Chain A
Amino acid sequence: MTNERWIKAAPWLWTIGLFVVWEAACKGLDIAVFILPAPTDIWAAIVKYWSPIWKNSLQTLFTTTVGFLLAVVGGLALGLAIGWSRAIYAGLYPLMIGFNSIPKVAVVPILVIWFGIGTVPAVLTAFLIAFFPIVVNVATGLATIEPEMEDVLRALGAKKMDIMLKVGIPRSMPYFFGSLKIAITLAFVGSVISETVAANAGIGHMMLAAQSQFNVPLVWAGLVALAVLGIVMYAAMAWLEMRMTGWAHRSGRN
């Protein structure tokens, strides 16, 4: 029982421990603030610059979410199309591999040429980077329908559409919701990259501005804001996954 309690407390203890060690190292070794600010310095920066951090966080959250939602819609549609037809799969797959192998940061300059500096490139970068894992996961879910199940239904006169609706789509949902955790993280990476390169708002932009003013605690405060946002979005997706496809995670509850 005590062991159980230790396991429950572990995440908190380790997190607190990390900050304590960090603080002690900074103070004890007398590390300069512009090399590595101590947690207390970062906290002070967060309090001092709360308003810009909050505003820029909302901007990053906004671009990430919009890009992510676009990726969900597009990824789901393309994943279903690819899983539906082997001809579409054969045609699109090489293209997608090629497209996905381009580092998305390299696309940002093109997006800036098209749309100018600001929100749109960040949204689109988030979309482009988050889209691929959703497509692959949905298509995988569809492609791995048990052949026996398909035979049983086809022998009953089921059309392709019936098999998709009754088996394929519900079956690919755990893959889909699983991929959302990856996709939201990637979308976040995409929008921050784009904001850092070409934006006038967002955490990435704020960190770049702080860096040019040697405001190192604010740069680190930006990192903390990113970590918090990332955790919140990941947790939201993990919760959604549990909620929607609990049947696929049955071993824990049996």
Chain B
Amino acid sequence: MTGFVDLNNIRLAYDGGDGTLALDGLTMAVQKGEFAAVVGPSGCGKSTLMKLATGLIRPQAGTVEVAGKEVDGPVSVAGMAFQNPSMLPWRTTLKNVMLPLEIVQPHRRRLKSEYESYVARAESLLEVVGLKGFGDKFPWQLSGGMQQRANLCRALIHDPALLMLDEPFGALDAFTREELWQVMRDLHAEKGFTVILVTHDLREAVFLADRVFVMSARPGRIIVERQVEFPRPRPIDLTYDGDFNDIVHELRGHIAEARAAA
């Protein structure tokens, strides 16, 4: 296996191995620069997958490799964003976005001396996601969709090679969600990072991803890998296309089977 993110024959149970078996025999490889989506029935351990790949938890069996190195602790090459934007209410949006820079080296060391250039970087990122001029607002002055945009900026501020998204658009209304799909599409095209997107939304997965991984019910493993061949950049109208919907249907079938098998 020679992916950028390699999960090899993972077995993981909660509570240090005694609890529920969450993942068993899970193998997946995501190539560098690839946009991967993981879908599956609820409770199949999708979110656990995120924590594995970022080194927050260790598997009981199998190996996790990111960028050719075995993961034995938190990997700072990753940026994360969850469904809950979890902005800190006492910081302005700009300061929230810049939070990772106060943690991750080498930025942490340079932040003070090169503060202006880092601010410029954060502001340009805010502009890309459509939040130009909102940097000095507090997160609670922003709408849910705007907070989620800021959340994406925070995940990307330290230029991670790997972006892990756990249902980041799940709590948004349909229009905002489609808008953010396009923001995500453009960010990925521009920066070329590797993405693993965990989602319930099959249309989201098919629109954004190069490859969709379908997980089985618990204990989770990958049962189907579906390449999505649509050329990029993909227009949002694609999501109303016949071919697009065929793939969504096909995936839906796999998940229905996985649920029935459980």
Contacts and interface: CB of A to CB of B under 8 A. Distances in A.
Nearest to A173: B90
A86 to B, nearest CB: 15
Interface string A164-185: 0011001101000000000000
16 contacts: A146-B86, A149-B86, A151-B51, A151-B82, A152-B82, A152-B155, A155-B54, A156-B78, A156-B104, A158-B74, A167-B88, A170-B90, A247-B90, A248-B90, A250-B140, A254-B140
Given A166-B102, A250-B138, A250-B140, A155 B55 contact: yes
Contacts, number: 71
Interface residues of B, number: 30
A155 B99 CA distance: 13
B141 interface: yes
SS of A interface (majority): helix
A214 B56 CA distance: 72
Interface string B68-101: 0000011110101110101011100000000110
B84 A148 contact: yes
Contact of B82 (A148, A158, A247, A254): A148
Contacts of A250: 89, 138, 140
Contact of A153 (B75, B103, B138, B158): B103
Of A151, A152, A156, A245, the most chain B CB neighbours within 10 A belong to A156
Interface of A: 146, 148-149, 151-158, 162, 166-167, 170-171, 173, 245, 247-248, 250, 254
Nearest to B99: A166
Contact of B56 (A149, A151, A166): A151
